[in-house]
Amino acid sequence: MSRQSYSVCFCFRRRFRMAASEAPADIKALFEEYSENSVVSVDQLRRFLVEVQGEKNATLEDAQAIMDSLHELKHLNIFHRRGLNLEAFFKYLFGDVNPPLKPNLGVHHDMNAPLSHYFIYTGHNSYLTGNQLSSDCSDVPIINALQKGVRVIELDIWPNSTKDNVNVLHGRTLTTPVELIKCLRSIKEHAFTASEYPVVITLEDHLTQDLQAKVAEMITQTFGDMLFSPGQECLREFPSPESLKRRVIISTKPPKEYLQAKDVKAQETDSKKGKDSTKEEPWGREVKSFKARFDDDKDDDLDGEGDEDDEDEEEDPKSEQNAAPEYKRLIAIHAGKGKGGMQDWLRVDPDKVRRLSLSEQELEKAIDTYGKDIVRFTQRNLLRVYPKGIRFDSSNYNPLIGWMHGAQMVAFNMQGYGRSLWLMHGMFKANGGCGYVKKPDFLLKSGNEAFDPKAMLPVKTTLRVTVYMGEGWYYDFHHTHFDAYSPPDFYARVGIAGVPTDAVMKKTKAVEDNWIPTWDEVFEFPLRVPELALLRIEVHEYDMSEKDDFAGQTCLPVSELRKGIRAVPLHTRKGVKYNSVKLLMRFEFV
């Protein structure tokens, strides 16, 4: 190899493979403090873990395990037999062995409280592969959701075209159906791959009683002993996630107990017109009136569009006499709004618990007048919040609005992407990723003084975040992805999602022309409600002439952040972790 070609090869390697010479000054200073003769011994590494990383119970065995994990670096001559030199110490800090969340905790929340005491990882229209109007229905997105730890799956069930079987589809749209039995079998197969805690199936039911009986048979045969079905009566209190491990729970509105006058009147009107509405496709009446339907939603989403709790939904009237009793017995979590207005919907019954569903707009309107009533309702009962009807593109809303009022089932379009979904992913990284996160105590306190998210509370703690540097883009992106002619100009955005008084975003300077940017900037975030706070992290590439390019994101629950200097992996827009991209950051509570 000629001297010239050797020199090019060497520059290429040094430019894009991070080296200790690029370590921030803080890291070099800490290395000096905890090393002797330029080597960090096992005992010195243990001291570093205790004093800097906040791992108070760290042992010599823990330190030795970290050293052993770096054995692959030995061949690079950066691993000294007596311990870590600067290069190895830097590699440890930036390595997978040093994640930002507490790795060994697993499920560590108390799982013996009633279901109503937990935020639950909840999907909306879980069977859709894409948009809300014309995408395919499939069991694939259901499987994907369950594998990510989602615990609530929503299925809209309708008669098929010949009225002798049951399909899953988004009613009154052009979505192509999938058979219910296929979805049920996939749920059974994948329900507990990511978490042992219970899976709830919420059914939006548009069936006649004979098809309800068919569904009852399908569900019973598919799930067998996995099914939790307490019988016909409402539960007095919800069981705990612990007691329901590896169980499947059905939740829907029980069949109506009497014929509604408006339904009888509608039937009479159809009869006069000589029209048999039951012969029509479930979406037939609506497909030509999308615009009217969704224009109504724009003005007022209080019609419960597409939701199983909508008292105005156009479904076959059901009565107690002709409702399939085996179907009713399967319903463990009863849903329904009742006949009154919001105040009646939020009434707490001391003798039974239930589930209420509200659209995102319905919730936002209710908060102004009934905020504390919502918090009290959710201490015993379940509240499900779902996206408004005009979100054709399967986008989502701010989940914190529901969570800060105690809503357990903040239902999201998991096949979409965007900042709201990143927050959802972040919240459910907590508690070992099991899909159940215990609500903070202040949301569960009974009495008149229910939690008010808008109150100006005192600062409980301040999170100090140091954004040191980032690496890995050179390996995970095409080399002309950000700029055809020069290295990228990266900057980071860091902030908090939480109650309104905690929410903020800040950003670093842009580092020009560098695949391995070093920002070395410090941000402080005073937190009034740290229990609900999520740390938002994004990286973008500055573009003078066009929209800045996305370069990675993650969202982390503040309650589970590990103090100290940590390697923070970044994810794609859809939440998939990059192979190499990560940031080096420091977290301190001051």
With helix as H, strand as E and coil as C, how does 464-513 read?
EEEEEEEECHHHHCCCCCCCCCCCCCEEEEEEEECCCCCCEEEECCCECC
334 is catalytic: no
At residue 39, φ and ψ (nearest 5 deg) are: -140, 135
Of 109, 117, 170, 405, which is the active-site residue?
A: 170
Cβ-based neighbour number of residue 493 at 10 Å? 16
- Cα dist from 525 to 304, 429, 464, 558, whole Å: 38, 21, 6, 11
Q: Packing angle between helix 25-33 and helix 86-93, nearest 10 degrees? A: 120
- Cα dist from 87 to 143, 391, 468, whole Å: 42, 50, 16
The contacts of residue 354 (CB under 8 Å, 6+ apart) are 234, 333, 334, 335, 336, 381, 382
* 173, burial (CB in 10 Å: exposed 0-12, middle 13-18, buried 19+): buried
170 is catalytic: yes
CA neighbours closer than 13 Å in the CB half-sphere of residue 457: 18
Question: Two tokens at 86?
Answer: 């600067």
With helix as H, strand as E and coil as C, how does 395-415 read?
CCCCCHHHHCCCCCEEEECCC
Q: Which residue in this structure is represented by tokens 């201490």?
A: 379
CB 537 within 8 Å of CB 571 = no
Torsion of CA 365, 367, 370, 376, to 10 degrees: 140
Please list the residues that pair with 166 across neighbouring strands: 159
The angle at the Cα of 191, spanning 186 to 194, to the nearest 5 degrees, equals 125
The angle at the Cα of 547, spanning 543 to 550, to the nearest 5 degrees, equals 85
Of 124, 206, 405, 540, which is the active-site residue?
A: 124
Catalytic residue set: 124, 170
